A and B are shown apart, each in its own frame.
Chain A
Amino acid sequence: MTEPALSFVGVWTALIALGVFLYVLLDGFDLGVGMLHGFAHDAADREVIMNSIAPIWDGNETWLVFCGVALLAAFPLAFAIIIPAVYFPILVMLIALVFRGVAFEFRFADRLRRAFWDRAFQVGSFVAVFAQGVVLGAFIQGFRVEGRVFSGTSVDFLTPFAILTGLALLFGYGLLGAGWLIIKTEGALQDWARRQGRICLIGVVIGIAVVSLWTPLMEQRIAERWFSLPQILFLWPVPIATLAGVVWEWRALSGTVDAAPFIAAILLFLLAYLGVAISLWPMIVPYHFTLWQAASPPSTQAFLLVGALFLIPVILMYSGWSYWVFRGKASRDIGYH
């Protein structure tokens, strides 16, 4: 098709990029909290931990569905290649999220078996996060494509690199979760969350370092993107800022400002996200189709944009309001039932 006069590819790239980042950030911290809560010392602590995410965790999953359907509508070719390529990680993630959602509801309804549902919630969180990390790894390493279809097998995703990103994301979401708990708790429980945060940060640093070295070695184009002139002149602040972010996070985890570890974790995620985006830009199906090649026609993108530009701000405002109302420390008895 000829280049259309009016293109919405930029807007939809921004909207989906925002959706993915919001999802990673928001469901990231509550998945992280879900993983960490199983390691808490006693039932009372677990109660506080669960209450800290009770009012908001499920709304966070909104963004996962948004990303899925928006990708289908705005970049159908990408949807049709990427999702089959990660058939099993998506399957595992969906089933883990179903169990996690059900376990969360029933832990409050079914007090007799609360320990069982808590365990299910923790396991569901772990499995869902690992699966998402594997999806990320598979995405970065690229897919086998012939014509317009994924031509590999359903186990192509299973590489050491994807397992590494799966593990790295466990620590990443754990760090976000710990940051959230530091904001929402106090006293001994908060000290515990800070310790968990430090453990997770070590994992995150190793993860970022290995991924940063591995990807340019794995993919020539990524190496050229980062290390050739003149790009290197513009891109060197990204790794430097990441290093600074790690130092800030380490100090914040022992500091006195409760919100600092969470904010530093967001910064680290933002930088890692930026790093991936720089490596892959402008590919949406690495290394076969660009955003423009995979886009649906302008009339499709415009048709959905009309509604999205009205509905998304409302959803964002409401979410923001929810967080505002539930600000402050969580306790055992306030919050959820």
Chain B
Amino acid sequence: MTLDPLLLSRIQFAWVIGWHILLPAFTVGAASYIALLEGLHLATARPVYLRVSNFWIRIFAVAFGMGVVTGIVMPFQFGTNWSGLSDTAGNIIGPSLAYEGLTAFFLEAAFLGVLLFGRTLVPPWAHFIAAAMVALGALFSSFWILAANSWMQTPVGYTIVNGRFYPMDWLQIIFSPSFPYRFAHTVVAFYVTTGFVVLGVGAYTIRRGLFPDEGRVMMTTALSLLIVLVPLQMFIGDQHGLNTRRYQPAKLAGIEALWNTGSELPLTLFALPDQSGERNNYAIEVPHLGSLILTHSLDGTVRGLKEFPADQRPPVAIIFFTFRIMVGLAILMLIQVVVGWWLRLRGGLFDRGWYLRACQLAIPIGFLAVLAGWTTTEVGRQPWTVYGLLRTAKSVTPSLTGHDVLLSLLCYAIAYLFVYPTGVIFVLGLVRKGPGETAPAPVEAGRPQMPVRRLPSPPQSEEVR
């Protein structure tokens, strides 16, 4: 068997981005949630919000640090393994990636320190502003990275000279056709992910019985946010789908494993797509539902995969299933949240052991949905890096051999399999410790610390376990 540097490079990118995306999936939401708690504390002066906020700041700090460390790896991937893309499209995606980095550092430089260590050193309103700015900065980081990604999915505002992309209109490039949908869908996905983490940790906290007030605050705030966010996310996802149908029809056809163009299409609930045979085996279909969902009319027409040359089709089976995993998880989330509200309105939300356990089980659900969704959109745009214009095969670094990439992939595999479990164990320790104390974060990773740290710190029970 020959080792294919292209395939291995794709696996390597999937590996490093897959692990990395888990951290922003949590920290983007957590930053906003912390800002919300700080705001609630400012408005109501209830100390429980402060304790819950401090608890999440501690966990945020660890996740943020790991996000920075794994984030340093990312831009270099574009050079080591995807130099074809860098040379061809660097004129356009370069600034977006650079702005992402600069924005992140700017945010850390200016506000993260105040959030992490400034509790007793600045007035409460200033601490709230710092929290809000960190949340805003996290959103800006997502903005730039998704702007670059969206342009690659739906390129506009460029001209091609000597086989390379040159910018013509930066506004068009930043706000490319898929960007608003992708940005909304991703950010809400991150918020929902954080929501389920907070919900589950709240349930765990209640079940342990040590910090019931804090646990209740976590569960109720999370449920209040999720009852809005989960349906909203389904709506945005639907809109994103319409956008994909318009701009990336082959991706949509792949997601639905739809081979023939047609109207009054069924929705395929399950099938084993056969890429070379251009058909689905063991399909379970619901009549008319496909057209209704994809075009919002019972007889809408959707283009099938056979309209596209075989070498311009995405790997159908992968995205067919990852998309269904994502949607399935979304339905589970909706049930979880609706049941939670039903229990809450009836009273006794916090006494149902089975529901609390279910919330705990659901802690990773958002992460799984993010990974499934990200896989759908990234595999679905294959075989292109810049959609319809630059093939993935032309994007990979030409000098690499299969053995080079196998070796680097193994190194990343070992490194991440060591670092992530270590980080998880550490975060679990913080969760077990609970939200009882109001001390500042005992550990932070990654970034410059606040100079104010040097000042006398408040009394704190920094126990060593």
Residues of A within 8 A of B (CB): 1, 54-56, 58-59, 61-62, 64-66, 68-70, 72-74, 76-77, 79-85, 87-88, 90-92, 94-95, 97-99, 101-102, 104-106, 108-111, 148-154, 296-297, 299-300, 303-304, 307-308, 311-312, 314-315, 318-319, 321-322, 324-326, 334-337
Pick from A83, A84, A314: contact of B109, CB under 8 Å: A314
Query: Given the complex, which residues of B lie within 8 Å of A62, measured CB to CB?
Result: 105, 448
Residue pair A325, B90 in contact (C-beta under 8 Å): no
The answer on a CB contact under 8 Å between A59 and B448 is: yes
A308 CB to nearest chain B CB (Å): 6
Q: Counting CB contacts under 8 A, is B331 at the interface? A: no
B32 interface residue (CB < 8 Å to A): no
Provide the bound-state CA to CA distance between A203 and B185, in Å.
55
List residues of B (137-183) whose CB comes within 8 Å of A's CBs.
161, 166-167, 170
- B window 384-442: CB within 8 A of A: 397-401, 404, 407-408, 411-412, 415, 419, 422-423, 426, 442
- Nearest A-chain residue to B97, judged by Cβ: A69
Determine whether the beta carbon of B109 is less than 8 Å from that of A318.
yes
In Å, the complex CA distance between A308 and B97 comes to 12
Give chain B nearest CB distance to A116 CB in angstroms. Answer: 11
The 8 Å CB contact of A109, one of B71, B167, B443, is: B443
A312 to B105, CA, bound (A): 9
Cβ–Cβ < 8 Å partners of B18 in chain A = none
30 A-B pairs in the complex with CB atoms less than 8 angstroms apart: A56-B448, A58-B65, A58-B449, A59-B108, A68-B79, A69-B94, A72-B98, A80-B84, A83-B76, A84-B83, A84-B397, A87-B408, A91-B408, A98-B70, A101-B69, A102-B419, A105-B446, A149-B84, A150-B397, A150-B398, A153-B401, A296-B94, A300-B92, A300-B94, A303-B95, A304-B95, A307-B99, A307-B102, A314-B110, A326-B451
A66 to B83, CA, bound (A): 18
- Mark each residue of chain B from 297 to 331: 1 if its CB lies under 8 Å from any CB of chain A, else 0: 00000000000000000000000000000000000
Whether the Cβ atoms of A58 and B399 lie closer than 8 Å is no
Q: Which residue of A lies closest to B426 (CB)?
A: A109
- Contacts known (A72-B97, A98-B419); A65 close to B72, Cβ less than 8 A: yes
Q: Give the complex CA separation of A318 and B368 in angstroms.
A: 38
Nearest-CB distance from B460 to chain A (Å)?
Answer: 10
Structural contact, A95 and B109, CB atoms closer than 8 A = no
Contacts of B449 in A (CB 8 A): 54-56, 58, 322, 336
Contact of A95 among B66, B170, B411, B442 (CB under 8 A): B411
A149 touching B448, Cβ below 8 Å: no
By DSSP majority rule, is chain A's interface helix, strand, loop, or mixed?
A: helix
Complex-state Cα separation, A94 to B74, whole angstroms: 10
A95 to B87, Cβ gap below 8 A?
A: no
Q: Is the CB of A325 within 8 A of B451?
A: yes
B residues with CB within 8 A of A: 62, 65-66, 68-73, 75-76, 78-81, 83-84, 86-87, 90-92, 94-95, 97-103, 105-106, 108-110, 161, 166-167, 170, 397-401, 404, 407-408, 411-412, 415, 419, 422-423, 426, 442-449, 451-454, 462, 464
Contact present for B426 and A87 (CB under 8 Å): no
Q: How far is the CB of A314 from the nearest CB of chain B, in Å?
A: 6
B138 to chain A, nearest CB (A): 16
Q: Which residues of B contact A54 (CB under 8 A)?
A: 449
Q: Are B95 and A80 in contact (CB under 8 A)?
A: no
Residues of B within 8 A of A334 (CB): 454
Nearest B residue to A109 by beta-carbon distance? B443
Q: Which residues of B contact A148 (CB under 8 A)?
A: 87
With A88-B404, A300-B167, A322-B449 given, name 4 new contacts (CB 8 A): A65-B75, A72-B86, A88-B407, A154-B404
Interface contact B101-A69, CB-CB below 8 Å: yes
What 3 A-B pairs have minimum CB-CB distances, sorted nearest first?
A76-B90, A83-B79, A73-B94
Whether the pair B445, A101 counts as a contact (CB closer than 8 A) is yes
Q: Which residues of A contact B462 (CB under 8 A)?
A: 337
Q: How far is the CB of A68 from chain B (nearest CB, A)?
A: 5
Contacts of A90 on B, CB cut-off 8 Å? 76, 79-80
- Flag if B105 contacts A322 (CB, 8 Å): no
Q: Known contacts A72-B86, A102-B445; is A312 also within 8 Å of B170 by CB? A: no
In the bound complex, what is the Cα–Cα distance between A334 and B456 (angstroms)? 10
Contact of A84 among B102, B400, B454 (CB under 8 A): B400
CB <8 Å contact, A303 and B170: yes
CB pair B415–A95 under 8 Å, yes or no, is: yes
Residue pair A94, B105 in contact (C-beta under 8 Å) = no
Known pairs A80-B84, A95-B412, A304-B99; A1 contacts B110 (CB<8 A):
no
Q: Report how far A239 CA is from B385 CA in the complex, Å.
A: 48
B167 interface neighbour in A84, A303, A319, A324, Cβ under 8 Å: A303
Contact, CB under 8 Å: A58 / B445: yes
Interface residue from B78, B90, B100, B110 paired with A296 (Cβ < 8 Å): B90
By CB atoms of chain A within 10 A, which of B84, B90, B419, B464 has the most?
B90
Of B90, B166, B399, B411, the residue contacting A79 (CB under 8 A) is: B90
B422 proximity list for chain A (CB < 8 A): 102, 106
Residues of chain A within 8 A (CB-CB) of B78 are 72, 79
Residues of A within 8 A of B411 (CB): 91-92, 95
Partner of B161, one of A1, A74, A80, A318: A1
**Chain A contacts for B161, CB-based, 8 A:** 1
A76-B86 in contact given A87-B400, A337-B442 (Cβ < 8 Å): yes
Q: Report A-chain residues with C-beta under 8 Å of the C-beta of B452.
A: 325
Could you say which residues of chain A place their CB within 8 Å of the CB of B105? Answer: 62, 65-66, 311, 315
- Chain B residue with the shortest CB-CB distance to A111: B464
Partner of B94, one of A72, A109, A153, A311: A72
- The answer to whether A64 and B451 touch across the interface, beta carbons within 8 angstroms, is no
Q: Are A150 and B94 in contact (CB-based, < 8 A)?
A: no
Instruction: Please determine whether B464 and A150 come into contact, CB atoms closer than 8 angstroms.
Output: no
B65 CB contacts on chain A under 8 angstroms: 58, 101, 105
Complexed CA–CA distance, A1 and B411 (Å): 41
CA distance A258 to B448 in the complex (A): 25
Q: A94-B76, A102-B69, A337-B462 are in contact. Are A83 and B95 (CB under 8 A)?
A: no
Decide if B110 touches A79 in the complex (CB within 8 Å).
Answer: no
Complex CA–CA separation, A219 to B415 (angstroms): 38
Find out whether the CB atom of A154 lies under 8 angstroms from the CB atom of B91: no
- A54 and B444 CA atoms in complex are apart in Å by 11
Q: A33 CB to closest chain B CB, in angstroms?
A: 16
Considering the chains assembled together, what is the distance between the CA atoms of A326 and B451 in angstroms?
A: 7
| Interfacial chain A residues near B66, Cβ < 8 Å | 102
Q: Which residues of B contact A66 (CB under 8 A)?
A: 98, 101-102, 105
Chain B nearest CB, measured from A281 CB (Å): 23
B94–A304 CB distance below 8 A: yes
With A and B bound together, what is the CA distance between A115 and B407 in angstroms? 29
